[in-house]
Amino acid sequence: NAGVTQTPKFQVLKTGQSMTLQCAQDMNHEYMSWYRQDPGMGLRLIHYSVGAGITDQGEVPNGYNVSRSTTEDFPLRLLSAAPSQTSVYFCASSFDRRGEKLFFGSGTQLSVL
Amino acid sequence: TQLLEQSPQFLSIQEGENLTVYCNSSSVFSSLQWYRQEPGEGPVLLVTVVTGGEVKKLKRLTFQFGDARKDSSLHITAAQPGDTGLYLCAGAETGNQFYFGTGTSLTVIP
């Protein structure tokens, strides 16, 4: 099993550009989530989903959109990138609908110039 | 504001030494987890504690959940270079949201 797969690994954007970070899991987990990690801030929840067709906002949702059309995939969209969105992004999934015991992907390092 | 505060933020010790990392909050958590993250990778779950006063051991690592379920500690005995990494605590407070701590970066020098 691949677990949680994130693509791309690295990305550089210009301010105002849009892009989608991909996340896929093959563990049939209902719960999926997106976090951003910034120095000294730990991991902050952006959006999460407890099943296909269901999404909700986390701590820092502004500037990001998500959708969950299948159990396996949970893409994160940046509609108009800003320098403040420079960060490392992690996708995670869990068999627990409360999000306990998270399995993380290896991350996407995003720089917005 | 951070719901979970970890201390110390950075820790550099010699191989063989013992250390303790703390995770504190003013909130009560139904459960608390510890993760370890290595450079360029995502965090990996080490342990989950759910009962106030609970102590769990994982080889040289000892995890404790405070009696009031507001704090936790991680103690490493005889640290090894392989223990180097970022240690994160995370608590489940309400609904489906997990809150992560600020992290403790540990370096074990051979």
Per the structure block, which two tokens stand in for A100? 């306990």
Confidence label for A16 from pLDDT (cuts 50, 70 and 90): very high
Nearest CA in chain A to B99: A44
Q: Predicted confidence band at A97 (pLDDT cuts at 50, 70, 90)?
A: confident
User: Taking the CA of residue A82 as centre, how many other CA atoms within 13 Å lie in the half-sphere pointing to its CB?
Assistant: 4
- The C-alpha of B7 sits at a distance from chain A's nearest C-alpha, in angstroms, of 12
Helix (H, G, I), strand (E, B) or coil at A1: coil
What is the residue-averaged pLDDT of chain A?
94
pLDDT value of position B26: 86
Residue recorded with tokens 């999404």: A55
Contact B88 A43 (CB under 8 A): yes
Average pLDDT, chain B: 91
B41–A42 CB contact, under 8 Å: no
Cα–Cα distance between B89 and B36 in angstroms, integer? 9
A103, A92 Cβ separation under 8 angstroms: yes
Decide if B98 and A100 are in contact by the 8 Å CB cutoff: yes
CB B35 within 8 A of CB B96: no
Q: d(Cα A44, Cα B65) in Å, to the nearest integer?
A: 22
pLDDT tens profile A44-92: 999 999 999 999 999 899 999 999 999 999 999 999 999 999 999 999 9
What is the percent of chain B where pLDDT is above 90?
74
CA–CA separation, B16 and B69 (whole Å): 30
**Number of neighbouring beta carbons within 10 Å of residue A110:** 20
Going by pLDDT thresholds of 50, 70 and 90, the confidence category of residue B87 is very high
Question: Is A27 part of the contact surface with chain B (CB cutoff 8 Å)?
Answer: no
Mean pLDDT of all residues in B2-29: 92
**pLDDT tens string B6-18:** 999 999 999 999 9
Tell whether B26 lies on the interface with A, counting CB pairs under 8 A: no
Q: What is the dihedral of CA B54, B59, B60, B63, to 10 degrees?
A: -20
B81 φ/ψ angles, rounded to the nearest 5 degrees = -55, -30
Closest Cα to residue A64, out of A50, A46, A48, A45?
Answer: A46
Kindly state the percentage of chain B with pLDDT values over 70: 95
Query: Chain A closest CA to B11's CA: distance in Å?
Result: 14
Which DSSP string do the residues of B33-89 spell out, in sequence order?
EEEEE-TTS--EEEEEE-STT-EEEETTEEEEE-TTSSEEEEEESS--GGG-EEEEE
Structure tokens at B55: 């102590």
pLDDT score for B95: 61
Is B12 within 8 Å of B110 (Cβ atoms)?
A: no
For the cut 90, the answer to whether the pLDDT of residue A112 exceeds it is: yes
- pLDDT of B94 > 80? The answer is no
Phi, psi of B59 (to 5 degrees): 55, -115
Lowest mean pLDDT among A40-44, A51-55, B77-81: A40-44
